Amino acid sequence: AKVIVVGGVAGGATAASQLRRLNQEIDITIYEKDRDISFANCGLPYHIGGEVDERRKLIAATPESFNEKDVSVFTYHEVVGVNTDKQFVTVKNMTTGEEFNDTYDYLILSPGGRARVVPGLENVEEAFALHNIEDMDRIMEYIDENKIQEAVVVGTGFIGMEMAENLRLRDIGVTVVHRNENIYGHIEADVVAVLHQEMEKHGIDLKLNAEVERYRDGYVYLTNNEKVKAPLVIQGIGLNPNTEFLKDSGIKMTGRGLIPVNEYGQTNVKNVYSLGDVMETRYLHVPEQPANIKLAWPAHRIAYVIANHIHGEYNVKFEGLLGTNIMRFFDYEVGSVGIPQETVRNYEHFVIDHQQNFKAGYMEGASKIKIKIYVAHDGTILRASVISKSGVDKRLDTLAAHIRMGGKAQDLVNVEVAYSPPFSSPKSFLNMVGYKTI
Ligand code: FAD
């Protein structure tokens, strides 16, 4: 049997290597339209800031290392069409311009998305997005060549926030432009309010309720009538799915160009699977809620499920997502688990806000950890957001595991946590949240 994989990064490369691990016979070909495959997108901002000292550490595998595992990789090869009746893809060799067809028995689609261009910054040479190593290389080269001293970051999603932090760590002056007042808007405004001060403390100029109007002569002009010197602009306003090439394929897509998949990662078309940033699946604990989570875990997990399914192992299923996420912003850690804040209001629930010290209050460096948790009347934890200077990951991960195992809010009192003063309190954080729900 022959498998074609479209896209060679998080979802595609993982599906290919999982499948090869399970099955040494199957023929696997990866088509990737860009230069590199299998790199750590998530680490890119940290190389720009210098925390990841060596570029090569970001590269997990190369076409050569895949070839050694008998997986064929074609970079600079874009899949431009899919014929699902006759089971072939049309591929464009981007170096020669030549097109050819290649047949498959199974097709795995992991084309991800591309960064949205900020309106007003179209064709502006000074404006960059950060999606892959090529972008990272271009940004770093541009900073060095032009001795960049200041930059504007548009958007405060996790890429915008991480870039703002990492540019500051390189001593570049940063202005962040955000269209409303809620920075890092996927988390509740009152939870992340402290990040405004964190920006100020680290010398970031935050422009709220402002959008880019145009770019001229090295300045960004904003809708609030300000202009900001911007020899470098980083755009972080989200992704559009790379699914246009599937338009006439018969593969079902949503109005936003996402691909719905079932518990095996199958699309509506036989032998066609999809994963990663383009997939639409559902939430684990609120199954009627569609989920499109553009993070690494979902891509990696469903890659494993798809590899098993193609290999004929049908017991491995994808159960749905919790959207667990975390980010560091200078001294803070912040993240959430569960359905988005916008959808929480569709379910009857009560909200608990709780805060205490993240470790014993008498320990040096103790400070607050805060949670906002939404609980349905049957005790289902719909969503929770957590912020602190430390210990956010273990609380979120515990919550994710708890919800995954069917745990309700009131059962949090029974989670027996590790305690010693540097880490937590005997009346531990999540236990206290549990007591508040009873
Ligand atoms: P991608 O990894 O984007 O890969 C898709 C590939 O398909 C691309 O290389 C593209 O060129 C190729 N392609 C597209 N169309 C075609 C075509 N027609 N033919 C051939 N090839 C095609 N997630 C986290 O969980 N935690 C983090 O901290 C985190 N940090 C991130 C930081 C950055 C800067 C970025 C960009 C992402 C980060 N993510 C993080 C998100 C995570 O990297 C993505 O969710 C994940 O990479 C998605 O995998 P994917 O395979 O769907 O898409």
Q: Which CATH number do you get for residue 399?
A: 3.30.390.30
Reported as a single tens digit per residue, the pLDDT across 107-126 is 999 999 999 999 999 999 99
Mapped onto helix, strand or coil, the DSSP state of residue 320 is: coil
276 in contact with ligand 1, CB cutoff 6 A: yes
* Mean pLDDT, residues 81-95: 98
The percentage of the chain sitting over the pLDDT mark of 90, rounded to a whole number, equals: 99
The answer to whether position 306 is within a domain reads yes
Residues 203 and 138 in one domain: yes
The answer to whether position 57 is within a domain reads yes
Domain final residue, candidates 283, 310, 337:
310
The answer to whether position 26 is within a domain reads yes
Contact assessment for residue 218 and residue 230, using Cβ atoms and an 8 Å cutoff: yes
Residues 257 and 109 in one domain: yes
295 in contact with ligand 1, CB cutoff 6 A: yes
The percentage of the chain sitting over the pLDDT mark of 70, rounded to a whole number, equals: 100
12 in contact with ligand 1, CB cutoff 6 A: yes
Domain final residue, candidates 235, 268, 298:
235
Residues 176 and 162 in one domain: yes
The answer to whether position 221 is within a domain reads yes
Q: Give yes or no for residue 369 having a pLDDT over 90.
A: yes
The answer to whether position 227 is within a domain reads yes
Residues 43 and 180 in one domain: no
Residues 22 and 107 in one domain: yes
CATH number assigned to the domain comprising residue 259: 3.50.50.60
Residues 100 and 123 in one domain: no
Residues 347 and 403 in one domain: yes
> Structural domain tally of the chain?
3
Q: Give yes or no for residue 427 having a pLDDT over 90.
A: no
The answer to whether position 87 is within a domain reads yes
Residues 100 and 133 in one domain: no
Ligand 1 pocket: which of 9, 94, 165, 392 to mutate (most atoms within 8 A of CB)? 9
Residues 352 and 410 in one domain: yes
Catalytic residue selected from 40, 42, 296, 316: 42
Reported as a single tens digit per residue, the pLDDT across 5-31 is 999 999 999 999 999 999 999 999 999
CA of 237 to the centre of ligand 1 (A): 15
Residues 145 and 224 in one domain: yes
CB-based burial label for 429 (10 Å; 0-12, 13-18, 19+): buried
Confidence of residue 142 (pLDDT cuts 50, 70, 90): very high
First to last CA, the chain: 55
Quick one: pLDDT at residue 108? 99
Beta-sheet strands, E only, within 12-167: 27-31, 71-74, 77-83, 88-93, 99-103, 106-109, 113-115, 127-128, 150-154
Confidence of residue 324 (pLDDT cuts 50, 70, 90): very high
201 closest CA partner among 46, 58, 332:
332
Residues 207 and 245 in one domain: no
Which pTM value belongs to this model?
Answer: 0.97
Query: Distance (Å, rounded) from C-alpha 135 to C-alpha 53?
Result: 17
The answer to whether position 315 is within a domain reads no
The answer to whether position 319 is within a domain reads no
243 in contact with ligand 1, CB cutoff 6 A: no
Please identify, by atom number, the ligand 1 atom nearest to the C-alpha of residue 163: 34
42 catalytic per annotation: yes
Domain final residue, candidates 310, 342, 358:
310
Reported as a single tens digit per residue, the pLDDT across 176-213 is 999 999 999 999 999 999 999 999 999 999 999 999 99
Query: Distance (Å, rounded) from C-alpha 25 to C-alpha 179?
Result: 52
> What tokens were used for 107?
């097709």
**What is the 3 state secondary structure string of 221-284?**
EECCCCEEECCCEEECCCEEECCHHHCCCCCCCCCCCCEECCCCCECCCCCEEECHHHEEEEEC
Reported as a single tens digit per residue, the pLDDT across 256-311 is 999 999 999 999 999 999 999 999 999 999 999 999 999 999 999 999 999 999 99
Residues 124 and 266 in one domain: no
What range defines the domain where residue 23 resides? 2-113+241-310
